[in-house]
Amino acid sequence: MRPLYEIARDVAKNWPKVNYAAKPYLDAMRELDTLDDPYLYDSGRSVVARFISNAGTWKGPEAKRVKDELKAMLKG
C-alpha cells in the first residue's frame, strides 16, 4: 500500500482544478501516511472516505485507478 501523501500528490498532479468540496480532504491526505493516522479530530480513514465522496467530478482512467486504490484501502 502506498502512503496517503503519495496518493494525494498523484491526485493533485492529475486533477488540476480540484473540486472545492474535495480540496480540504486532499490537503489533509497530504499530511497522512496511513488510514490509522489522526488528522485533527478525524482519522485518516474518515478523511479518505470523505475525499472519495466529494471527488465525483474527477473523471478518467487515472481518477478511476486512484479511487479504486483508496476504496481497496478502506475495505482492508
15, 63 contact by CB (below 8 A): yes
pLDDT, tens digit, for every residue of 23-74? 999 999 999 999 999 999 999 999 999 999 999 999 999 999 999 999 999 9
At 49 the pLDDT is 98
Check pLDDT > 90 for residue 12. Answer: yes
> Where does the pLDDT of residue 1 fall: very low under 50, low under 70, confident under 90, or very high at 90 and above?
confident
CA 18 to chain centre: 11
